[in-house]
Structure 1
Amino acid sequence: MVECIYQNDTSRMVIVKCIGSSQFYLEKVIMPSEIFLFNAPKEARLEIWRMSISGQMLHIRADVSDYKTSARNSNTEELINNRLTELAG
């Protein structure tokens, strides 16, 4: 399992779906500006679905490794601190 991070930097809610082997499945609604930390198998695929008038539309399909916290380590702490500052202010 790898630790991953996704930040919804859109003005609309999105649905994150993570699909891996051995029946691994994770689905979460992410609100605008929300940061989502999660664990997933390293071979899993990530799908990000945007909401539209006609329903869900696939926006991004990527390897979960593209969202690993170690790959984004310099940004992870900064993203979380910025979000906490926004919430406090």
Structure 2
Amino acid sequence: MVIVKCIGESHFYLEKVVMPKEMFWFEAPQEAQLELWMMSPQGQMLDVRAYTADYAMDADLQQQLGLERTCMAVADTR
């Protein structure tokens, strides 16, 4: 299980629990911060902190789909 947190400007906030074998697609502002939290025996553990642009869908594909904001997917493949 992975917990996705995405925080951006203009009060943008997204939090989602992604279960094993699940894929989660979402849109977020390009400057938003992305956090991926993993579960450990001691509780939640921050695994990745990055900008959404680092994990974004290819810009050409975004234009073809007519999407204005950064798009990405998170999957727990364990």
Would you call these one fold, judging by a TM-score over 0.5?
yes
* Aligned twin of 1:43: 31
Secondary structure at the residue paired with 1:33? coil
Greater share of strand residues, 1 or 2? 2
Structure 2 gaps, min length 5: 62-78
Report percent identity of matched pairs: 63
Structure 1 gaps, min length 5: 1-12, 74-89
- Out of 15, 18, 42, the residue aligned to residue 30 of structure 1 is 18
* Aligned twin of 2:46: 58
Measured against aligned partners, the alpha-carbon deviations of 1:37-71 in whole angstroms (never above 9, x if no partner) come to: 00101100100000112211000001101221116
* Aligned twin of 2:9: 21
Q: TM-score, normalised by structure 2?
A: 0.70
Which 4+ stretches in 1 moved above 2 angstroms?
none
Aligned Cα RMSD in Å?
1.3
The structure showing larger relative contact order (alpha-carbon pairs under 8 Å, at least 6 residues apart) is 2
* Aligned twin of 2:71: none
Distance in 2 separating the partners of 1:32 and 1:57: 17
Greater share of helix residues, 1 or 2? 1
Letter in 2 for 1:30: V
